Amino acid sequence: MRYAVAVARTGHFGRAAEACAVSQPALSQQILTLENLCGTPLFDRLKSGVRLTPFGVEFITLAREAIKSADAVNVFALDRDGKPDRPLRFGLIPTVAPYLLPEIFPALAKAMPELKFTISENRTDALIAGLIDGSLDIALIGTEAPSNGPRLVSAELFDDPFVLATCRSEAVAAPVSLATVAPERILLLDEGHCFRDQTIAACRLDADPAGRTFAATSLSTIVEFVANGQGVTLLPQIALRKEANDPRIAIHSLATPGAGRRLSLVWREATPFGKTFAAIAELIRPSKIPTR
């Protein structure tokens, strides 16, 4: 299309080839290929040069708009060095957001002051759906990204081991073997949280045990029940500074093989901001979250 527009502008194959920095035979061949695709000539070949056919007039009008749009996409994707001119839509799972955001945002603001963010919390399946439908740019999750659907890039950040939280009045010898913990005493988040699924897997619980009626919407709620001696729970290490301050709570390490999760930053592979997202992951990756 660029060659055709150049021919229309100059009215001459030779001058169009010179303007496009290609040989005249190469340009002529491309114009012929384009005309074959269209099924009709774009130009009348005259002794003095070329002239647009009626079809060619309409084609060139549309081609100019298409080239203009393509150039705009090029500027959007490349000329701004892969950095967005709008706030980045950043989603995090609820068992990460309140504990990690206070640590990483000062570092991001210092290293990338030109970036702005809109933050949302949601469960993993909703975050992945947001990446797929374009309502989110990046998501911080604690499970592997799904392999079905659009290709996602997953940048591993760090491992987040689990510990056992009990009421301080309980006599517990650490490290604790999860096999020795009574299943009915383990308090869980409600369904849909990946941390719930990870706890069920680590403790080898029935996913829907009979008589289990408690299901919390947040770790803070669970910790309050634990503090009152109404059960025990697993906590991710990054949550300890916030959730283990209560003097009624005791934290116990787990016996080998233990349990944990790996946190990752995920984004769509088809994005012009991949380098920026990778840089964000690199800034998060070395963060050593205090445990107490």
Q: How many whole angstroms separate alpha carbon 45 and alpha carbon 66? A: 25
User: What does the pLDDT read at residue 149?
Assistant: 64
Q: Do domains 88-158+261-284 and 160-260 have the same CATH topology?
A: yes
pTM exceeding 0.75? no
The whole-number pLDDT of residue 156 equals: 94
Pick the CATH number of 88-158+261-284 from 3.40.190.10, 3.30.565.10, 3.40.640.10, 1.10.10.60: 3.40.190.10
Residues in the chain: 292
Candidates 1.10.10.10, 2.60.120.460, 2.50.20.10, 1.10.3110.10; correct CATH number of 2-79? 1.10.10.10
CATH class of the domain defined by 160-260: alpha beta
Question: So what's the pLDDT on residue 208?
Answer: 59
pLDDT for res 288: 43
Task: Give strand pairing partners of 252.
Answer: 164
How is the chain split into domains, by residue range? Answer: 2-79, 88-158+261-284, 160-260
Calculate Rg over the CA atoms of the chain.
30
pLDDT, mean of each 10-residue run, the chain (292 residues): 90 87 90 95 90 95 88 64 79 93 90 90 89 88 80 93 94 89 90 88 74 77 94 94 91 93 92 89 71 39
Q: How far apart are CA 198 and CA 207, in angstroms?
A: 11
User: How far apart, in whole angstroms, are the C-alpha atoms of residue 204 and residue 166?
Assistant: 19
Sequence-distant (≥ 6) Cβ neighbours of residue 177 within 8 angstroms: 254, 255
- Residue 292 CA, chain-centre distance (Å), reads 29
